[in-house]
Every structure is written in C-alpha cells, then in structure tokens.
Amino acid sequence: MSLVNYLVLSGILFSIGSIAVLTRRNAIIAFMGVELMLNAANLTLVTFGRLHGDLHGQVIAFFVMVVAAAEVVIGLAIIVSIFRTRGSASIDDANLLKS
Amino acid sequence: MDTLNLAWLLVAIPLVSSAVLLLLGRGSDAWGHWLGVLASAASAVLAIVILVQLLGLGADDRTANVHLFDWIPAGDLTVSAGLLVDPLSVTFAILITFVGTLIHIYAVAYMSHDVDRRRFFAYLNLFIAAMLVLVLADSYALLFLGWEGVGLASYLLIGFWNQNTEYAVAAKKAFVMNRVGDMGMLVAMMAMFATFGAVDFDTVFGAADGAGEGAMTLIGLMLVLAACGKSAQFPLQAWLGDAMAGPTPVSALIHAATMVTAGVYLIVRSGPIFEQTPTAQLVAAIVGAVTLLFGAIVGCAKDDIKKVLAASTMSQIGYMMLAAGLGPIGYAFAIFHLITHGFFKAGMFLGAGSVMHGMGDEVNMRGFGNLSRYMKVTWITFMAGWLAIIGIPPFSGFWSKDKIIESAFVGEGWQPWVFGTVALVGAGITAFYMSRLFFMTFHGKARWNDGKNDLPGPERTPHESPALMTVPMIVLAIGAIGLGGLLTIGDSFVTWLEPVTGHVEHHEPVLPIPVIMVTTIVLVLLGAGLAWRQYAASAVPVAPPTGSVLTRAARADLYQDAVNEGVFMRPGQHLTRTLVYTDTAVVDGAVNGLGSGTLGWGERLRRLQNGFVRSYAAVMLIGVIGALVVVLASRV
Amino acid sequence: MPTQFADLPWLTILIVVPTVVAALIWLVKPLRRAARPIGLATSVLVLIGVALMAGAFETADAAEVQFTQTVDWISAIGASYAVGVDGMGLTLVALAALLVPVVLIAGWNEVTLPSGIAADRAEDSLAYRRAGFVSLVLVLESLMIAIFAAQDLFLFYVIFEAMLIPVYFLIGVYGGPNRRGAALKFLLYSLAGGLVMLAGVIAVYFQTDGGPGTYLLANLGDIASDNPTLQMWLFLSFFIAFAVKAPMFPVHTWLPDAAAQATPGTSTLLVGVLDKVGTFGMIAICLPLFPGAAATAAPVIIVLAIISIIYGGLVAIGQNDLMRMIAFSSVSHFGFIVMGVFVGTQTAMVGAMLYMVAHGVTIAALFLISGFLTQRGGSQDMRTYSGMQRVTRVLAGTWLFAGLASLALPGLSGFVPEYLVLIGSFEAHWAYGAFAVIGVVLSALYILLAYQRVFTGPVPEAGAPVELTGEALDVPDRAGLKDLTGREKWAIVPLALVVLFLGLYPAPVLELLSGVADQFAAILGSAS
Amino acid sequence: MNAALEISTGEAVLFWVLAPLMVAGALSLLFAKRPVHIAVSIAGVMIGLAVMYIMLEAPFLGVAQIVVYTGAVMMLFLFVIMLAGVDSSESLVETIKGQRGIAVVGLLGLLILVITVLTRASLPPAVGLAQANADTNPVGVARLIFGDYIFAFELTAALLITAALGALVLSHRRRLSPKVGQAELAEAKLAAYGKGGSAEGVTPPAGPGVYARHNSADMPALDAAGNPIDDSVVTVLRVRGQEAETADLDADRVARIATGAPMVPELDGAERADRAELDEQAETTKENEE
C-alpha cells in the first residue's frame, strides 16, 4: 500500500462533496458538501507533505482549517438570516440573481 | 473720373430701396412703389451721367476699373469686388435703368390692384441691382453673383402670383433650368482658375491667347451653355414660355429686354476667350441659328399673345447669339440689335399688357380683333414695335437686324451660306408671325363679346389704359422708331463699342450687300402680306383649327417639354424614389437589422441565466474539469 | 494686445463657466424657474468672451495655436489637459458660441409638458423640464468649445465621447414621438465610431515613446511613418469615427431620424456644430497624424464624398418630411466639405473650412425656421402644407432666404465656400469638380421643391383632407396660422446678418482660415 | 534524505478499515434525507480524517481537526439545523432540468481525472516526516507558523475576529417596531377580541392531551367533538412523526372524553364493596412493598 491511496480517497471525498453541492437543495447540506471538499483538499495537502517530507503541507492545511472555520461561521449566519426572512433554507428559493 | 467711382451707387441705390421695401413690410405699402420708381430712376440718371462722362473721354481711356473691396481673398484665389466701367457695360446700364424705369412707372398702374404691389417693386429693384452687378462686374465671380441674382429675381417675379401652383412650378422650372446653365458657368470658372489661376477679366483675357486651345474650348463651350440657360437658347429654352406666368411688366423687363440678353452679353464680354476657340464660336453660332428658327416656328402657332412674344424674343436672341458666334464682326451688331430689341420688344410687351388690361386679362388672340378702334395709343405704339421687329426701314429693327444678316453672310466655306440663309428665312418668318399677332389683335373683326353680339366668353369692354401705362409705351415706341437710325449714323455705336469689341475692318459678304438687303425686305413684305391675307382680310376662327402636323408640333413648343420630361424628369423622379427606398430599406435597414439581430441573440443567451446558484455551480464544475483536462492533455 | 488680457486662460474660463451655471440651474431648486433667462445670459456672456478672445487673437499668425494652456492630466498615459485655438478652431468656437444663444431664444417655449401631468404639478415639472433643457444645452456648449480647442489627442477623444451624453438626452427626452429610437440609434452609431477611435488612440500611444505629453497634438507628427499599412489602419480607425459624425454616405442614416425627432434647437446644435467635429477631426487629426495614409486614401474618400453630394441631394428631393429633407441636404453639404478637405489644394481646403462655418449658420436658420412652421402646423409632413407664403409671410420669406443661402446663391453664406471647394477640386482633378457641380442643380431642386410644396399654391381651407400616399389626414386650420413673433424674429436676425456677412464680405474669416488651410493642404500635398 | 519510508501494515489495515467507513459517511450527503443524520455522519468522517492525519504523522493537525471540525464546526451545523432546518427534510426529486445529468457527468469527470492523474503521475519515493518531526510535530509546525507564516497567521487572527463580528451583524436583527411586552400583547389580544375578533390567544391554546392512564405529551388533546387537536402537540414531535394517534386510545374512552362522562363507570353497592376491598388490598400491597 502506498500513499496514493490517501490521494484516491481524498479525490473520492472531494467528488462526493462537489456533487452534494450540486444536487442538494438544502443550503445547510450543500454547505456541508463544501466542508467535505475542503477537508478532502486538506487530506491531499497533508499526504503530499508526508510524501515530500516537509511540514509546509500541514501548515497550509492548518490555515485552511482556520479559514474554513471563519467561512462556516459567516456562511451559517447567512443561512440563518435567509431562513429568517424567507422561511426556507432552500437554495433554489434564493434565486435573486435571475432578473 | 470722380463719378465713375460712384458707379457702385448704380447698384447700391436700387438694392437699398429693395431691402427697405422688404424689411419695412406693410408699413411701406402706401408709398413703396414710388420709392421703387425713384430708386430706378436715380440710377438711370447716374448711368446717364456716367455715359456723358465717358463720351467726354478719348476712346482709349473709356475703360475704368473701380475697385471696391476684396471679396474672396482665399490665398491662391483672390477675387475682388470691382466694377468695370466701359462702353459695353455702360450701354447695358443705360438700357437696364432706362427701360427699367419706364417699366417701373408702367407697373405702378398695372399692379395698382394687387395687394402685394410693394413686394413687386422690391423684387423689381432687386432685379435692377442684380442686373447691374452682372454687367458692371469686373470678374466672372462677381458677374456670377449678378447672374444668379437676376435668376433669383426672375424666380420671385415669375412666381409672384404663386398661389397658382402652375405659376410656382413655372418659376421653379425657370430657376432650375438656369441652374443647369450656371453649372456651365461654374465649370468655366473652375477651368479658368486651373488655367490662369484667376477669374477676373483682366487676367483671364490678358493670358487668353497664351493658353492652350483645349482649355479655351472647354471654357468657351461652358460659357455657351451658361448663355443658353440664361438666354433661353436651344436646348435650354423651355422655361421662357412658362415664364410668361409672371406679371406682364416682368415679361417686358426681364424676359424680353434685359435678363434674357445676359447670355449675349456674356459671350461678347468673353470675346477674347472665343477668339482662341473657333469650335466654341461655331457652337454658339449654331445654337443661335437653331433657336432663331425654333422660336420663329413656335411663334407662328401660338395663340397666347404673350407666348408669341416670348417665342419671338427667343428667336431675336437667336439672332444675337448668331451674331455673337460670328466673332468680332458680329459683336457690335449683336449688342446693337440687343439694344434696339430691348426697346421695341419691351414696348410690345407693355402693349400686350395694356391690351390684357383692357380685355380683362384675356391673352388668347383669337378672342381679340379690331381693338385698334378702342385703344388707339396702344395700337400706334404697338405698330411701331411691330414695324421695328420685322425690320421695315427706317425703324430701328431694320438697321440692327440687317447688319446681322449681312455679317452672317461673311466668311468662307459653308458657314456663311447656311447662317445667312437661316437669318434670311428667319426674317421672313418673323415678319409673318409678328404681323399675325398684330392683325389678330388689332384688326379684322371683333371676336369678343361686347354684350351686343352673341359671341361666347365674358363681356368685354376694351378701353385705353391710364397715362401711367401709355407714357412708357410711347417713349419706348419712339425708341423703336428712331434709335436704330440714330445709332447707325456714322457707325457711331460700333465705334463707341470698339474699346471692348475691338476694331474690325469691313469684310465683304459672299453676296453683295444690296442683294441681301433687297431679299430681306422682299421676304419680310411677303411674310407680312401672307399674314394680312390670312388674319386681317379673312375671318379668324375663334376655336383654333386642328392645323397641320407642324402647327400642332409648334403649338406644343416642338415637344420640348415632352422631351425634357421623358429624358430628365421622369427618370429623375424614378431615381429619387428608388434611392429614398434604398436608403430606408437597404442602407438603414442593414443597421437596424444588426440591432434587432443583437437583441435576438441577447434573448437567447438570457435563458442560460436561470438564477439557480446550483446550476451556475454545475457550469463552473464542468468548466474547471474542462480546463484541467485541457491543461493536463497539453502536458501529455 | 495687452498681455495680462491675453494671459488669462480664456478657453478654460469659457469651457468651465457654462457647465458650472448648468449645474447650478439643475441643482439649485429656486433657480429652476429662472433657468431660461439665466441660461441665455450665460451663453451671451460666453459669446462676448469669445468676441473678446477673437479681438486678442493674432490674425497675422493665425496658423499658430494661440491662447494655449497645458497641464499634465494623467501623466501615466501621457494625457494632458491642453487647450488652444488656431484660426480654424477660433472660427468654430465662435460658431458654437453664436448658435447656443440663438437656439435658446428660438427654443424659448420649445420645451412643453408631456401629457398626463397632474395640473397641480404642471408648473413645477414644466420648470423642471425647461431647466433640464437649458442646462443640457449649456453643458453641450462647454463640450463644443472644449473639443474645438483641444490640443491633446486623449482629451479630444474623451470630449468626443462625452458629447454624446447631453445630446442623447436632448434627443431622447425632449424629442418627438419616436425620440427614444432615434436617440438610441444616434448613440449606438456614435459609440461604434468612438470605439474604433479608442482603438486608434491606444494604438497611437504605442507608436510613440510614451512619457508625459505624449498625446499633445504638437508632439504627434506623422505616426508610424515607416509602416504604411499600420498607418493606414490607424488612419481608418479615426476616419471612420469622423465619417460617422460627419455624416458621410453610407453611415449617415442616424442623422435623418435624429433630426426628424429632435427639437429644432437640438437639431441645430447637432447638425450645425457637432457634426463639424467630424470634419474638424479629419483636418486637425487625420491629416497631420497620418499624412501618408490620408494621401493614399484620398481618392476613395473623395469618391465617397461625391456620392454623398449627389446621393444626399437626390434623396432630399424625394423626402416628404421637412426635417428629413434638411438632414439629407446636410449630407450633401458635408460631401462638399469632406471633398474640400481631401483634394489637397489650398483653395479647396480653405473652402472646406469656411464651409463648416457657413453651413452651421445656414442649417441653423433652416432648422429653426422650419421648426417655427412645424410647431405651428403640428406636422413635419410637407404634404400637409400649402400656400403658407400667403399666410405666414415673414416666415416664408426668411425660410426662402435661408434656403437660398443653403443652395449657395452668390451673395449669401453658402456660395463662397462651395465656390472655393469646387474650384479647388477642379484644380486637383477635373472630374472631381465636374461631378460635384451636379450638386449645385440638385440643391436648387430640393430647396425650391420644398418651398413650392409648403409655401406656394392655394391655401387649403380647414378640415379639407389632403390625400397622402396611403393615409389621408385632416389638415388643421392652415389659414389661421400666426406669423413669426418678435422673439422668433430676433432669433433669426443674428443668423441672417452672419449669412449676409459671410456672403458679401467673408474676407475677415478667410484671413483667419487661409493660413491654417495652407498648412494642412501642404501636408496632404507633400505626402502624395 | 533517508531511505523511502515503507508504510507499516498496521497503518494499511487502519486505512482500509477507515476509508470505506468515511466514504460511506460521505455518501450520506447524497442519499440521506434528514440533515441531522448527515451532520452526524459527516462528523464521523471528520473524525476519520483526524485519525488519518495522525497516521500521516501530523498529530497536531489531527487534534486540531477533531477540535475545530468535529468539536466546533459540525456542532455549529447541528445548532443551525435545530434552529432552522429541522423540518426542511427535502425530497430528493430534482427540480432544475438537467442538473442531475450535469452532476453525474461532473462526478465521472472528476473521478476519471483523479484516477488518471494518480495512475499516470510518477510520484517520488515517499520521504516521511521523521526528520521534520525530529523534535515533535507540534514544535515543527509551530516553527513554521510563527516563523515563515507569521504574517499569514496574524491575518487569520484578524480574519477570525472579522468573521465573528460578521456573524453577529448578520444574525442580529434590528427591531423595527417598539418592543411588545406581555402587557401590551394581552391588551392587544383583548382589544381584538372586543372588536369581535377570534378568541385566539384570549383563551390559551390547548396543551397536549394528558389523560389518566396515558400521560405522555405526544398525545393530542381532544376538542369537544372528540376530534384530536394537532396543534396541541409540540412541533418537533410532529415533525419527527413521533406524534401518537388518538387511535391508541380505545374508542369508548374517546367517547367518554368527548361527552365529558366520568372515566369510571357508576357501580352498584356490591360492586362498590369489593371494589373497595380491592382498593384496600392495593393499599396494603403498596405499603408492603414500601
């Protein structure tokens, strides 16, 4: 077994996350998809870090985590306020972009 | 030369008066016409003063250039507004102002019933001013100013009663056909500038003999074209007949005495150019000859008294053109005939006007007859004009026309024979139709309804016109009788013009002069007699007979209008309609099509933007994958 | 001239003042009621200012750019604010300054309320609309003066585009029933031209060695002289924009719509001054910057110009709409101007320059007087008029006067320039003159035909339907139309005076122009 | 560079145990209906990731992962779900035309991409972090963070604060109308009732039906007609479908409740007597039991 497996795993997780973003209408679920994608990316970073034997990968992953946390906070807050005003957490209901 | 420097007043006075009349508007209705008469008379007096002054000088310094100001100082081309006072221009100035003043006086009475009399006099003054500019100009550019100015005045006066659409159309026709001629003038000036770098008489004439014949021929021909337009010569003669729509004084002044003769003036003035180009001279002569016959033939068939006079004008100017086309030997006589013609033709027009005045504006000669009993003065004066135009000695027409016929016979080759014969025949025909007019109007049985006889038409009460109208007629009649002889004594007029036309020693015609003279008179008498037999001795049908093919053709002005319409007007109208359609449908259509096409595409693309974040995300994902594939594929 | 007098930044003052006043009128509510008098006063002041400036102008070296003022603007791209006028610029600035007050006087009551305004708000909204009109006109005046004074290519371009804004609103807000379409068309046409020009402007920058003052016209000579193809492209990029503006066949079709829809005042400024920017640019930018290309393209352009002359004339003859007729006549006239610019003889060049001024005045008179008529008669269709000469005498007289000036009757403004252009073109090549001279006859036809249709013939009695092609409409009472009012007469008087002045004694103007003309004609002459 | 590290069997085993679980948990994103379930299973995935980090010689990150994600983020998610999305269990039917198709295409595309890349990629021999982690991984990471990445680190601090504030701002709702206290509310209700409005609110809403022999809050109250009043049960229970049916009661009790008849039928003397005995017995038994 080699480190490639980790990469394959992260690829699979990433794909699943992205598809979730595409297919789920519930904002919260879609958002979780995003999180999954981020983590998949982290996994890749860490794996390569180990592959190349330096810690930068981990550091970057760390920063990703921090940023992700911030992003989650904001994102969820947005979802909540949308839910408050529109009474629904469905993405498709918020299609103000159209006209 | 102090008064010569005042020459500009000749133009200024009538111009100012016209401006005043136009600007003051109704305010000057009461006295406006008298102001007009005064202005014209003033410049007439001034003209005479200048004439006297010139006569006082030696023949060689009878030419004065009066520089006024730089008109167009445009670097390479500099045109100055200056007056050229010399025998020729002064002669014209006299004719214009003198005859003009008479006609002004006549018009005071003739137009007395018209609400717009003031405007009429404003236009008349404008015409006088423009015509004087034309003849006094010292450069072609300035001459062109007058040239177009008289065109404008004629346009305004022909269309004076423009509430009648036909009159308005006639006016427009006159102006546009003149413009066609003016194109020639413009091209001539362009060629002059290209050749000599200037358009003033001195430079052009000075360098004329040095220039190549090609350019000279172009200039000459173009000048002839211009002359044709202005002087109603073939093929641009069609407008003159319709121009009779204007009030009769206008016909007398503009379309008989002065403006229409401007073409002749132009050619005589441009003598030095024509010297260099026999071709152009020949063309001018041919045009003259053709028009001479053309007018004569048309004149024989018309029943409208003014149209007959118009036709005869055309024909007489044909004589002048012919003479002018003959070169220096003809110049003097052309002008001579022009002067005499100015007098007797104006007289006859005024007579016609007086007849119409008495007959309730009737113009159809078949509705006249035996008027000599009712309007004696008109009759006598008209008779003077008649005898003059048909050339009975010693009336003035005889002297001038006979000289032209003689000089037409001068030269070698075929030309003298052709031109001479044409001139002779023309004289005969002229005698016929003018006599026809005279007899139909004043003699024979009355063909109008005087209330007692049971003739059709409204009741007429012919009467003599007021003194304001008859006096000018009398004066002109005296001119018609005596002027020719007076000026012939010792060739005084020819010598007087020599500074301009140059001295020419006497040439022998191909036929001995007495023969020509006798033939002429015989032909004239023949024509007159014929007319007498047909229109005075025998009764004239009130309804015009069908007549021969030639007659019908002549009644239709030899189908000149038909030709114009067929060749220029109709295709032109079609062309404009097509172009208007093309402009909106094709040129503009292309633009609009582009616009609507863009809109359509926008509509289609708009559908992609459905506003669902998820589908945007999907598109993004696909795009990313595609991009990656491309990148990686390129790496492989 | 007194130095401190000449040292004043005349042009900048003249450019700034109207805009400031416009802003005041627009923003300060109490001023709106008095918008028209204020605007008129301002424009008259500007006119006086221009007159003083002309007085201080050194006619001796009119070819030199005077009253110059240069300030670095965007030094990064070498753009600077540089103004100054030579003889040509001065005359055109004067033209603009003359026409604005005239238009304001003539259009005093031109702006009316759109339907459907509540009676109680009517007064306010009318004042509002009028204020808008006046301030737009004033802004336009600033831009017009600025563009004729611009001595920096970039500045020129910016103003060139900025001008579209006020005109767009003038047409689109205050125009006739179909105004929006016309305004949009005008805008798109001009923007398309401007876009091409922008490409040219940028390309020019890369042909120079950059640095501050790159775009100063003084520093820009013969661009890319070593690469004729490139120069030709650059030349075209500018020429197309100017041709659209000019307008030349076949990119003229925005003009008739705009002229027919805009108010007469707007049309006057549009055709009288703005379109001159096109020909002005051809002279002041196309020739000095791309002499070689200009010389190469000249024959083609001249052919197009001749087509414009004849085509415009013929189409004008066929028009039924008075304003469209005038617009097409302008297409024909612009043909003369462009021909004069590109034949490359000094005579034709000076003719073309004089033509710009003369045409501006003439067309202004035609548009305004026709406007007086159409506003009275409530229709621009000539077929609905007849015999007006008997009803509105002064109007008819002035119209004919303007018309004669437009058909180049000697003694009126139209003649001298047309004469010079013709003579100069013939000098270059006989065919140019020979074909162009046809325009002389056509102009007589369309002007007199219009006069005949509108002003002559019997006066129709009210209610009598006139048979138009297709639809018949009832003629409103024509016999009852009023003649020109005093205000309208006073609007025409200055124009008439200038028309006569240019026709009888153009020497002073020609003095200003001939020097410049020498210079530019020499460029073309030496290049070919 | 020391020799390429080889991966211990234990790690391999652990990997092969974890990976399927994680994938399964992730798949819940696509197929599960209830957000809560998804949240929990994703939390599981996060833990799995944490373990893998530790396997990948990144213990610090592993711990951080557990703290940040499992501990904070996913819990936050749960809160929000409870707050907003409890009842937003959506149907998996796609509404946007072609979205599914694109999704599938995207999935396949991604997978193919990843697979091909990884198969074609020629990775260098793995080095391992033994050297880098010489004096413990946290120290090594800390050196980098507070060394090379100090600036980024400070930025993240700022970012976090901003995020917190942003969350406050976003979730804070400004009061548009004066605060309505209990008194005002009561007055308003009565006023409305006085105006002939509904008695809604004047009479308190029905509580859940708590009856003798049946005292859970999932039982709807009955109205006079004996029909259940659904509103009387707590929303959450209803959403979760844990609401009891009146059918769970036997019919005659429902009838009694409806008619207001006593739950206990009338008895004759004898019956009453032995009924009493029974009661006593019950008493005594109770006591005995105590």
pLDDT in tens, C298-318: 999 999 999 999 999 999 998
Query: Which of B534, B555, B576 is the C-terminal boundary of a domain?
Result: B555
Residue C469, pLDDT above cutoff 60: no
Cβ contact (<8 Å) for B609 and A97? Answer: yes
The neighbours of chain A, by the rule of 3 or more Cβ pairs under 8 Å, are B, D
Measure in Å the smallest separation between the Cα of B76 and chain C Cα atoms. Answer: 6
| Closest residue in chain D to residue A9, using alpha carbons only | D19
Closest CA to C172 of C162, C160, C155, C187: C187
The helix (run of H) or strand (run of E) holding residue B390 is helix B376-390
Residue D235 predicted with pLDDT over 80: no
Instruction: Tell me if chain D has a CB within 8 Å of the CB of B615.
Output: yes
Are C94 and C85 a contacting pair, CB within 8 Å?
no
Q: Establish if D46 belongs to a structural domain.
A: yes
Strands C79-85 and C66-74: antiparallel
- Prior bond to B278 cis, omega within 30? no
Q: Is the residue at B32 inside a domain?
A: no
> With an 8 Å Cβ cutoff, is A89 touching chain B?
no
Convert the pLDDT of each residue in B342-387 to its tens digit: 888 898 999 998 888 888 888 888 888 788 888 888 888 989 999 8
CA dihedral (B554, B557, B558, B559) in degrees, to 10, reads: -130
Tell me, yes or no, whether B440 and B579 share the same domain. no
Q: Cα separation of C239 and C278, whole Å?
A: 8
- How many secondary structure helices (H) and strands (E) does chain C include? 24, 4
Determine if the peptide bond prior to C247 is cis (ω within 30°).
yes
pLDDT by residue (tens digit) across C47-77?
Answer: 999 999 888 888 888 888 888 888 888 888 8
The predicted pLDDT at position D91 comes to 60
Across the interface, whether the CB atoms of B614 and A98 are under 8 A apart is answered no
- Whether residue D81 is contained in a domain is answered as yes
Record: contact D102-B618, CB cut-off 8 A = yes
Residue-wise pLDDT tens digits, C406-465: 998 998 998 999 999 999 898 888 889 889 999 888 999 999 999 998 888 888 766 555
d(CA D204, CA A22): 46
Which of A5, A58, A74 to mutate to test binding with chain D, by most D CBs within 10 Å of its CB? Answer: A58
Q: For residue D128, list chain A residues with Cβ-Cβ distance below 8 A.
A: 50, 53
Query: Where does the pLDDT of residue D233 fall: very low under 50, low under 70, confident under 90, or very high at 90 and above?
Result: confident
Inter-chain CB proximity B165 and C345 less than 8 Å? no
Cα–Cα distance, D106 to D94 (Å, whole number): 16
Q: How far is CA C151 from CA B317, C61, C79, C240, C405, in A?
A: 60, 17, 11, 21, 33
Q: Are residues B547 and B412 in the same domain?
A: yes
Per the structure block, which two tokens stand in for C1?
A: 């001239």
What CATH number should be reported for the domain holding residue D36?
A: 1.20.120.1200
The parent domain of residue B299 ranges over 277-555
Identify the pLDDT of residue B2: 64
Same domain, B594 and B465: no
**How many domains does one find in chain B?**
2
Chain D: touching chains (3 or more CB pairs < 8 Å): A, B
- Residue D290 in any domain: the answer is no
In terms of domains, do B503 and B385 share one?
Answer: yes
Chains B and C touch (3+ CB pairs under 8 A): yes
Domain annotation covers residue D63: yes
Written as six digits, the tokens of C250 are 């076949």
pLDDT means over runs of 10, chain B (636 residues): 76 91 85 89 90 82 83 83 88 90 90 87 92 91 91 90 87 89 90 88 84 86 91 85 86 86 90 87 91 89 87 90 87 89 90 87 81 86 89 85 87 85 90 89 81 76 85 89 82 81 77 86 90 82 78 79 81 85 83 86 81 83 90 80
Chain D contact present for B620, CB below 8 A: no
- Judge: A39–D49 Cβ closer than 8 Å, yes or no: yes
Question: Which of A76-85, B567-576, C233-242, D239-248 is predicted least confidently?
Answer: D239-248
Angle at C176 between CA C175 and CA C179, to 5 degrees: 65
Query: Which residue in C256, C281, C251, C272 sits closest to C190, CA to CA?
Result: C251
By mean pLDDT, which of B99-113, B454-468, C326-340, C366-380 is the weakest?
B454-468
Candidates A33, A55, A70; nearest CB to D159: A70
pLDDT, tens digit (0-9, with 9 covering 90-100), for A22-69 = 888 888 888 999 999 999 999 999 999 988 888 899 999 999 999 999
- Position D13 in a domain: yes
For chain C, percent of residues with pLDDT exceeding 70: 94
Cα distance between residue B349 and residue B256, in whole Å: 8
What are φ and ψ of residue C321, in 5° steps?
A: -90, 125
Q: Give the one of B149, B172, B587 whose C-beta lies nearest to C452's C-beta.
A: B172
Domain span at residue D52 reads 7-85
Q: Do residues B611 and B485 share a domain?
A: no
Residues B583 and B463 in one domain: no
Q: Judge if B531 and B571 occupy the same domain.
A: no
pLDDT at residue D289, as a whole number: 59
Return phi, psi of residue B70, to 5°.
-75, 120
State which H helix or E strand residue D43 sits in. Answer: helix D35-55
* Overall domain count for chain D: 2
One-letter amino acid at B537 equals A
Give the distance from residue A99's alpha carbon to the nearest chain D alpha carbon, in angstroms.
17
Q: Do chain D and C touch: 3 or more Cβ pairs under 8 angstroms? A: no
Count Cβ neighbours within 10 Å for each residue of D92-120 and write b for 16 or more, e otherwise: eeeebeebbebbeebbebbbebbeeeeee
C9 or D220, greater pLDDT:
C9
Note whether residue B172 is domain-resident: no
Using CB atoms, pick whichever of A1, A32, A63 lies closest to residue D42.
A32
Please give the interface size between A and D, counted as residue pairs whose CB atoms are below 8 Å apart.
Answer: 242
pLDDT tens-digit series, residues C86-112: 889 999 999 999 999 999 998 888 777
Judged by CB atoms closer than 8 Å, whether chains meet at B186 and C437 is answered as yes
Please answer whether residues C328 and B59 qualify as being in contact, where contact means their C-beta atoms are separated by less than 8 angstroms.
no
pLDDT of residue C2: 47
Q: Which residues contact D255 (CB under 8 A, 6 or more apart)?
A: D226, D261
CA–CA gap between residue A53 and residue C516 (Å, rounded): 78
Q: Do A18 and D39 touch (CB under 8 A)?
A: no
Asked if residue B619 and residue B501 are part of one domain, the reply reads: no
Band of pLDDT at residue D2, cut at 50, 70 and 90: very low
CB contact under 8 A, A67 and D102: no
Asked if B344 and B392 touch (Cβ cutoff 8 Å), the reply is no
Instruction: Give domain status of residue D209, yes or no.
Output: yes
**Nearest Cα residue in chain B from D110:** B625
pLDDT digits (tens, 9 = 90+) for B156-168: 999 888 888 888 8
Nearest CA in chain A to B625: A15
Label residue C351 by pLDDT band (50, 70, 90): very high
Domain's final residue, options D45, D61, D85: D85
> Are residues B372 and B520 both part of a single domain?
yes
Domain boundary among B520, B555, B590: B555
Question: What would the mean pLDDT of D187-199 be, rounded to a whole number?
Answer: 79
Tell me: pLDDT of D43 over 80: yes
Which of B555, B576, B600 is the endpoint of a domain? B555
Tell whether D214 is covered by a domain: yes
Please indicate, yes or no, if residue B114 is contained in any of the structural domains: no
- Above 60 in pLDDT, residue C116? yes
Counting as contact any 3 or more CB pairs under 8 A, the partners of C are: B
* Alpha-carbon distance D156 to nearest alpha carbon in chain A (angstroms): 7
The pLDDT value recorded for residue C382 is: 85
CB contact under 8 A, A3 and D7: yes
What pLDDT, on a 0 to 100 scale, did the predictor assign at position C75?
80
What percentage of chain D exceeds 90 in pLDDT? 21
What is residue B254's three-state secondary structure?
helix
Contact D246, D254 (CB under 8 A): yes
Pairwise CA distance, residues B157 & B175, whole Å: 11
- Cβ B187–C426 below 8 Å, yes or no? yes
Cα distance between residue C416 and residue C423, in whole Å: 10
Q: Are residues B575 and B551 in the same domain?
A: no
B611·A96 Cβ contact <8 A: yes
For D243-254, how does the pLDDT look when each residue is reduced to its tens digit (9 = 90+)? 666 666 666 766
B500 and B620 part of one domain: no
- The complex's ipTM? 0.71
* Tokens encoding B329: 């030997």
pLDDT band at C400 (very low <50, low <70, confident <90, very high): very high
Which one of A21, A31, A79, A93 would you mutate to disrupt binding with B, by most B Cβ within 10 Å of its Cβ?
A21
- Percentage of chain C surpassing pLDDT 90? 41
In a domain, D102, yes or no: no
The pLDDT assigned to D89 comes to 55
Cα B190 to Cα C427: distance, rounded to the nearest angstrom? 7
Residue B277 gets the label, from left (phi > 0), alpha (psi -120 to 50) or beta, of beta
Q: Which one has a higher pLDDT value, C161 or B464?
A: C161
CB spacing of B179 vs C444 below 8 angstroms:
yes
Q: Which residues contact D165 (CB under 8 A, 6 or more apart)?
A: none
Q: Do D30 and A17 touch (CB under 8 A)?
A: no
Q: Is B148 within a domain?
A: no
Give me the domains of chain A, ranges plus CATH numbers: 4-86 (1.10.287.3510)
d(Cα B329, Cα C355) in Å, to the nearest integer?
Answer: 44
Q: How far apart are CA B148 and CA A66, in angstroms?
A: 92
User: The tokens of C16 are what?
Assistant: 């700034």
Using a threshold of 3 CB pairs under 8 A, tell whether chains A and C touch. Answer: no
Verify that B477 and B616 share a domain, yes or no: no
Contact pairs from chain A to chain B, CB under 8 Å: 30
